[in-house]
Structure 1
């Protein structure tokens, strides 16, 4: 068996799109709002970190909550250097990313990538919406997306082909109807 490796394209990536970012501070300690295009942190974090580093100074570390990110890299490459990425379920809000630099820490609210453009624009603009309300809206969007996926993947009801639990007769208790 032979294997061919094309070294002309090896290591090249498609150019990154600019980060969709609003740096309007909000109550609750938010320094801005970010609307990623996907849940792929290895692709999404480099342009975001580069944009924030230009404004906030060199970013040295990023912390995320794993609830909405399927893969969390240990490091990402930003402008020829490495930025560490960590996660926490206790200290990190699921809808925020925390960026650390020599100037301290900054928090950015994450708008779910599946959010429609109109809703994302409203959340990014703020329009007087405080941080907890923005996070609640992001949570509602994530819940709706998970529910839609559950429904379209056939999760609405238990298929009759599944075995009954051990000890189940399949009969309902007296007085109950189907």
Structure 2
């Protein structure tokens, strides 16, 4: 049975490059027969030009597909992280359709940190090997996971005291009083 992996990158080169490199590595060094990479973007021509060399290296075993988003009528105010998360939510139906159209169906599904909501697509399509690619430092990952486990009262206590927030296994985070102005 052919080992096919589907990888999904959130918008932006900082997400595209790690997913593309992972895809090449899986194909060349880990026994994958085929890799299909989906790049979510609101500007396909610009994304194609930025990805450039990788597109020319792509062959029949390494397929790159762009999932275009029309964000013109959407409220894209807020932080960059909020915008990227919203774009990924918007892309889920297109990701589902694209994955369903693949033959053979992928046995491995990988998303980057901002694409975790797309794991539901893999679950729905019964892709059992699901992974999240985290390209940050181990400290930042530990910080992110720990922050999600805190209740607002504990977090507020640390923020208002301008003390340090202990992170298990890591250095504590010291808050600057000007950090939240």
* TM over 0.5, shorter chain: no
- Bigger proportion of residues as helix: 2
Structure 1 or 2, whichever has the larger Rg, is 1
Q: TM-score, normalised by structure 2?
A: 0.29
